[in-house]
Chains A and B, each alone.
Chain A
Amino acid sequence: MTATCAAIEIKGLQGYYGPSHVLHGIDLRVPAGQVVTLLGRNGAGKTTTLRAIMGLLRQRVGSIRINGKETIGLPPERISPIGIAYCPEERGIFPSLNVRENLMLPPVLMPGGFSTDEVIAMFPRLAERFNSPGTKLSGGEQQMLAIARILRNGCKILLLDEPTEGLAPVIVQQIGDVIQELKRRGYTVLLVEQRLDFAMSVADLHYVVEHGCVVAQFSNDELLAEPGRLQKYLGV
């Protein structure tokens, strides 16, 4: 493994929300073209890690390299053009915009993304609701929209924060299919996920985060062979 094939490489990442120290030295590596999960209990620092990667966490020190480029000092609007896009846990559908405007909002930053037609073919429900306000969609539709809109911009590294949270099994299945398709197209996905079965159905590599540190790392094959190994970290 050489440094050039890491889509994201994080070393010694410390992060703070005001006075509270929430990330205590995260180290992780997301190989290009793979699906990697961050597992861990609520409050372990998984979402904060994604926010730190996107530059949304203001107080952060350490090193975050994206496609080999150091981004620790960059504001969010200069991190995305390196080739990374983010789908937040709360989905972030803009209530002032209709579905079409939400979908078309992110500018195309580089070639090689999905065309609008391809996105619509992947999520046909969205086209039927084009003129509805974004927040009038169901939870599943909003999640589809939140993923769909970051596929057009050409960024090949996607951060997905709990995309299956609160969704019906049939929609979870659909999101799993989307992630498989992204992987086939060479996308890199860093996924925060609570559903272990879902995580194991899509991912290649898992990191376990606890108290703002990475405490364990498993390949998906290791976990499939011995699922009990996670019990120590995730069991209650």
Chain B
Amino acid sequence: MTDIFGIPLPALMGQLTLGLINGAFYAVLSLGLTVIFGMLRVINFTHGAQFTLGAFGAWMLLNYFKIPYWVSLVIMPLVMAVLGALVERLLLKRLYEMNHLFQLLLTFGLAQMIEGTLAVVYGSSGKPYDNPMPGGVDLGFMFLPYYRGWVVVASLSACLVTWWAIERTRLGAYLRASTDNPELVRTFGIPVPHLMTMTYAFGVALAALAGVLAGPIDQVKPSMGSGLIITVFAVVVIGGVGSIMGSIVTGFALGLLESLTKVYYPPASSVVIFLVMAIVILAKPTGLFGRQP
């Protein structure tokens, strides 16, 4: 059996696959956060809870209404987008002019309420969600479960479609311009407040999509989002706040880095991303892909 620096190849590839999966979640979640921050200048601390709601929503649809995974994958992002739009319209919108602390309190408070409610109703131990794509394929050097492959493909597609929509379409140009100078964009007759609502809804939909994808990988539990979101914030900072491609590349790269650390020096695996964050902040405060101000 081939070893790479003392690690058997299948074990290494297995870890790398895990890293790729984690990276996929980092990428999709940090993409949503960065899109929301760019347009609204709000750090969405509810993002993790919205991810969790995506997963729980899929679980509820399956268990109460027998609605299968593939349908939930479409329905939940749409439902969460509507809820997100309501949150922006009814609550967040009132806070744009105020100190950022109030936005933090609102979004963090919402996250606590969502997680707390889910924990009371469903318990904190977690619910299983059946794998919709059992089985896998032997690639020779490793065994790849179909579902894990699907998660990476689906996440990467969501990221690339988002990148294309923002960097290559007219609506995306409105968004980018509004990120630079929202007032001037409004003088061109473009309804920036509506764009802000749509952007928040879209970011929340991405979180929900990631949540539905995550359900079958692990268990569906109230704390699944808050566990992930701390790392995702670090990913956003490393990639550069507001950078679309930065979020995608950094998300996947840090997932891989984390899993490599798990293989070669496990004790460091939980801190390596934060170590990178500290170094990046010291060396390039705008992040790896951020624009210099």
Contact = CB atoms under 8 A, between A and B. Distances in A.
Given A95-B291, A105-B173, A105-B174, A76 B187 contact: yes
B189 A96 contact: no
B153 interface: no
Nearest to A102: B177
A96 B240 CA distance: 14
Contacts of B186: 55-56, 75-77, 80
A95 B189 contact: no
Interface string A196-223: 0000000000000000000000000000
B180 A96 contact: yes
B179 interface: yes
Interface string B184-224: 11111111110000000000000000000000000000000
Interface string A85-100: 1101000101111000
A19 to B, nearest CB: 15
Nearest to A98: B173
A109 interface: yes
Interface string A52-74: 00111000000000000000000
A153 B187 CA distance: 12
Q: How many A residues are at the interface, by size bracket?
A: 20 to 34
A105 B188 contact: yes
Interface string B266-293: 0000000000000000000000000100
A192 to B, nearest CB: 15
B157 interface: no
B192 A88 contact: no
Interface in A103-154: 104-107, 109, 150, 153
A107 B189 contact: yes
A107 B177 CA distance: 13
B130 interface: no
Contacts of A107: 188-190
Nearest to B191: A77
A101 B173 contact: yes
A56 B188 contact: no
B164 to A, nearest CB: 15
A164 to B, nearest CB: 20
A176 interface: no
Contacts of A150: 188
B188 A153 contact: yes
Interface of B: 170, 173-174, 176-177, 179-181, 183-193, 291
15 contacts: A54-B187, A56-B186, A75-B193, A77-B187, A77-B191, A77-B193, A81-B189, A88-B184, A95-B180, A95-B291, A96-B180, A101-B176, A104-B170, A107-B188, A109-B189
